[in-house]
Amino acid sequence: MKFQPLALALGAFLALGGLNAHADIVAQWDYNKGSTKHSQSMNGASFATLGGVTTSFVAQTGSSDPNAGQAMNTASYAAQGTGSLTRGVQFGVDTTAYENIVLTFDQRNSATASAWTALLYTIDGENWSQATTFKMATGNLDFVKGLSFDFSSIAGVADNTNFAFQLVSMFAPGTSSYLATGATSNYGPAGTIRYDMVTISGTEIIAAAVPEPESYALMLAGLGAMALVLRRRQRQA
């Protein structure tokens, strides 16, 4: 127990470099720069529409964006009873050097849009899996802020050049038809869905630091000095 300070010092020395991990924005779409699809990307990023969906830029009033700007509006969805999980938007993000990947976004539906949206993802660029679903509250036609999904427990998402995800409209679970977002509305292909502040964040992967020879020498000198102090205290006790 008398040499506990030595163990603590050694542990602290070896742990340096792993204490400063924090979440970074890997890619973000805030749509505040005209027709630019993504306005910030630390790594490679891409965007595409699915199934003939069209996009335009509209007011982002009510979203979590702190700056007055725009949101992306999507339209031209499938007819009732057709095309579930085939129409929406796709975002590709190179997560190389990042782990603990988390998606957050804001969404606003019109009354006749599908209340249900599915989140799909791929780690190889070809095969897609369903991560989760999101349902807009019936009758809520305002932006729903901070929708999120944590990918950190899914193998292959971190440190991956092929990671991509989709937000697609889907039938109400257990049915073969879309459910309208509006409380008194019927679903229609003219319904629209707005997205804003689509953000992928993660923590940088930091390799365990290997001390340089000079660092070893400095550490050993410090440990030697501490040992000498401890021996003197033992003799005086």
Q: Answer with the residue of higher pLDDT: 6 or 207.
A: 207
> 219: pLDDT confidence band, cut at 50, 70 and 90?
low
> 67: pLDDT confidence band, cut at 50, 70 and 90?
confident
Q: Answer with the residue of higher pLDDT: 14 or 56.
A: 56
Tell me whether strands 164-169 and 116-122 are parallel, antiparallel or unpaired. antiparallel
Of 132, 140, 131, 146, the residue nearest 193 (C-alpha)? 140
Residue 233 has pLDDT above 70, yes or no: no
pLDDT digits (tens, 9 = 90+) for 80-98: 999 999 999 999 999 999 9
pLDDT digits (tens, 9 = 90+) for 31-46: 886 544 455 555 678 8
Kindly report the pTM of this predicted structure: 0.79
Q: Answer with the residue of higher pLDDT: 10 or 167.
A: 167
Residue 201 has pLDDT above 90, yes or no: yes
**What is the DSSP track for 40-103?**
EESS-EEEEEETT-EEEEEE-TTSS-SSS-EEEEEE--PPTTS-TTTSEEEEEE--TTEEEEEE
Q: How far apart are CA 176 and CA 81, in angstroms?
A: 6
Residue 184 has pLDDT above 60, yes or no: yes
Q: How far apart are CA 160 and CA 150, in angstroms?
A: 16
